[in-house]
Chains A and B, each alone.
Chain A
Amino acid sequence: MTAAAPAMERTQDVVVRRKVKQRRDWAKWGLGGYFVLFLIFLYIPIILMAILSFQGSYGQLTFPFRGPVSLDWWKTLFDSNVPNTVSDDVSASGRQSLWLSLVAGGIVAVLGFSLSMAFRRRWRFKSDVVAFYVIMLALMTPAFLVGLGNQLLWKFMGKTPNLWETALGANVVWGIPFSFLVMLAVWNRYDRHIEEAARDLGANAATTFREVTLPLVWTGIFGSFLFGFTLTWNDFDRTILLQNGYEAQPLPILIGTWPSSRPILPNLYALGAGTTAVTLLLLLLALVVVTVRLRFRSTPQQQAAEELGEAVGLGGAGGLAERAK
């Protein structure tokens, strides 16, 4: 279009910029369209499931949707006075799952955090490679092997596998590498000079840890907790081999054994959609927490300045006072 541009103009810039822009746009829209298709592929089963859970009382397992739109099938999960009720099992399983997942999340957060601290201290050691591979082994071992192994270990010790001693442990093993990797990512971006500064200003190790280190990395610890929680909340392959019939089943076991143990009705869909919704809500909560946190600190430098201010203002001064005595 600007073919008759004067020779003095820096034509090379103009040409290059236009060319790149055109090519990028085309590929971007094509890939964007593909991305949308991918999301549909990813989400369609669970969306269909959720839709079918809102059918009327004549609801079936497949389309067409048999109306009217109602919460009848959701009610069977919570109300013991409606037909087809499963409320007793659901509430027992729900409580079991909730406690199990909370405890697993807590243990995963603590263990993952302390492991990552140990690695942070010995960053350059050769022996770390072996330790690192052990942690990755926890990630790579197929679920049912961990389940089978723990079952056999318990038999070997002459005990019966159970949820709180065996299944919990196997689930935590699955959570540890995720927590560890999250914490490593956090430490990677972490500026150690802040700790140096705090120590130089007179804070002792405990104060530095409490007032400087923890506030800076607690989002990572919270993320570890969420990993532990959701992995346990959803686990089937490990737990199925490690529970005995005498305890209330966790929700995934209830869902997983449902097709072979009771009539499949749309309330199974409601239960599946419900547990998925809980997980997604937790994820949303985590994002809100992180976003709110990020809003307070835009750059790492600012972060450092803020935290340092806090540390010096509160803990640092306290530590200094203690030392002066």
Chain B
Amino acid sequence: MPSSSTSEPPRGDETTRLAIEEVEEAEAILEQRPPKAEGAQGEGVRGGRSGGWLTTGLAAPGFLYLGFYLLAPLVVIVLVSFWTRSDAAGGFDRVWTTANYANLFHDSTYWNNMLTTFETSLIAVGACLVLGFPVAYFLALKVQSLRMQIVLFIVALAPFWTSFLTRAIAWTFPLMGSEGALNQVLIKLHLVSHPVQQFGFSLLSVRLAMIQLYILFMITPLFFTLAQVDRSAIEAARDLGGNWWRMFLEVILPQTMPGVVIGSIFIFVLTMGDYGTVNTIGGGNITSVGTIVKSRVDVPDYPSGAAAAVLLVIVLMFGVWVITRFANLREEL
């Protein structure tokens, strides 16, 4: 075992203390005990432990990676959004300006798109919640055998691992469209007399596809929180004579709120920031904030694209903040 470089109490003493401490720690983890005041004390005590270096060493590669490929790029987006466009090779000059934002604030196309995208996201969040909840409820509370539960959950989750783009193409060409399977079926059933034109390359198609593509991000957290709902509380509510609806509102829903919140954040963020799906299913007719940013970057006009992206992030952060008001995630995690 690597020993510490800092001054330590006598060796035998230390090992005993460590052993006791680690057992306690393991027990706390196993029993899912919430961290208590002793945690603060533990911090001080363990700060001088040789393990501190190992911990840092273990965490460093990951955080260096995240710093370089995630945090630095986000910082650069903000920087570039305050710089001036240039036709030179780089695409921007390091001359500070707020013109990019000033132009954006007067750009009604941008804000209309922001509004439409926001509407799409709200519809997606609502629809995924309403359509996904029964699925998660069925899997978590109605399927009795654990093996069956796992199998059905994986069957429902499998499309998540496949390409969103392929699923978007599969959605667009064979299924939707004026000659798509959906229209053909509707005509065969005499529900409509002419093909519904709104199915192809339209906002309606994009919104339906969003539900289809992203609903698994809602079902997964819902499933995991529903599976942890205290069964005896459900039994108790029933024994006490509450009807199903009251039991749902007062027992199940409060315990499921973290799942609802996490799923809603996922879907809100993913649909607001979506580019590939809108582009493929909209067939170039439909725009979102994502496609606007992409088209500006393609020009290339990096500073205005970056400013558009920064405003999107601000809207995203606001939305996420509103959603997190519904549950205290920090305590749940």
A interface vs B, CB < 8 Å?
A: 16, 20, 23-24, 27-28, 31-32, 34-35, 38-39, 41-46, 48-49, 52, 61-63, 107, 110-112, 114-115, 117-119, 121-126, 129, 131-132, 134-135, 137-138, 140-146, 148-153, 155-156, 158, 169-170, 172-173, 176, 187-188, 191-193, 196, 204-205, 230, 233-234, 236-237, 240-241, 252, 255-256, 259-260, 264, 268-269, 272, 275-276, 279-280, 282-283, 287
Q: Taking the complex as formed, is B131 at the interface, i.e. its CB lies under 8 A from any CB of chain A?
A: yes
Q: Rank and list the top 7 A-B pairs by shortest CB-CB distance, nearest first.
A: A142-B273, A149-B73, A192-B26, A118-B59, A234-B163, A45-B170, A31-B138
From B23, B51, B302, give the contact of A152 (CB < 8 A).
Answer: B302
State whether B161 touches A234 (Cβ < 8 A).
yes
**Is residue B90 within 8 Å, beta carbon to beta carbon, of the partner chain?**
yes
**Is A27 a contact of B142 with CB atoms below 8 Å?**
yes
CB distance from B262 to the nearest CB of A (A): 10
**Contacts of B306 on A, CB cut-off 8 Å?**
148, 152
A117 touches B58 (CB 8 A): yes
B29 near A123 with CB under 8 A, answer yes
| C-alpha gap A101/B270 in the complex (Å) | 22
Docked-complex contact B137 and A31, CB < 8 angstroms: yes
Is B203 close to A, CB under 8 A?
no
**A119: which B residues are within 8 A, CB to CB?**
59
Q: Which residues of A contact B309 (CB under 8 A)?
A: 145, 148
Chain B interface category by residue count:
35 or more
Chain B residues near A41: list those with CB within 8 A: 212
Which chain B residue lies CB-closest to A62?
A: B179
B152 at the interface (CB under 8 A from A): yes
Inter-chain contact B169/A259, CB cutoff 8 Å: yes
Q: Which of A155, A158, A170, A233 has the most CB of B within 10 A?
A: A155
Q: CB within 8 Å of A: which of B300-333?
A: 302, 305-306, 309, 312-313, 316, 320, 330, 333
B276, A256: Cβ atoms closer than 8 Å: yes
- Say whether, besides A142-B316, A269-B174, A46 and B162 are in contact (CB < 8 Å): yes
Task: Considering the complex, give the chain B residue whose CB is closest to the CB of A119.
Answer: B59
The dominant DSSP class at the B interface is helix
> Which has the most chain A C-beta neighbours within 10 Å: B58, B171, B313?
B58
26 A-B Cβ contacts within 8 A? A34-B134, A42-B156, A45-B212, A46-B159, A49-B174, A61-B174, A63-B184, A115-B59, A121-B51, A132-B333, A135-B66, A141-B70, A142-B274, A142-B290, A148-B293, A148-B309, A150-B73, A152-B73, A155-B302, A158-B90, A172-B69, A192-B29, A192-B30, A205-B1, A260-B284, A283-B158
B180 interface residue (CB < 8 Å to A): yes
The yes or no answer to B269 lying at the interface (CB within 8 A) is: yes
Residues in B neighbouring A126, C-beta threshold 8 A? 39-40, 43
- CB-CB contacts of B26-40 with A at 8 A, as 1s and 0s? 101110100100011
Find the B residue at minimum CB distance from A50: B170
Q: Inside 8 A of A142's CB, which chain B residues have their CB?
A: 269-270, 272-274, 290, 312, 316
Task: Determine whether the beta carbon of A280 is less than 8 Å from that of B165.
Answer: no
Closest to A169 in B: B69
Q: CA of A32 to CA of B137 in the docked complex: distance in angstroms?
A: 10
Contact A140 B265 (CB under 8 A): yes
Residues of A within 8 A of B22 (CB): 192, 196
> What distance in Å separates the Cβ of B329 from its nearest Cβ neighbour in chain A?
10
Are A287's CB and B154's CB within 8 A? yes
- Chain A contacts for B142, CB-based, 8 A: 24, 27-28, 31-32
- Does A118 lie within 8 Å of B66, measured CB to CB? no
B77 proximal to A (CB < 8 A): yes
Q: How far is the CA of A145 from the CA of B54 in the complex (A)?
A: 33
Nearest Cβ on chain B to A50's Cβ, whole angstroms: 8
Cβ distance B42 to chain A, nearest Cβ, rounded Å: 6
Q: Which of A32, A122, A204, A279 has the most CB of B within 10 A?
A: A122
Q: List, in ascending order, chain B residues with CB within 8 A of A118's CB.
A: 55-56, 58-59, 62
Pairwise interchain contact A124-B77, C-beta atoms closer than 8 A? no
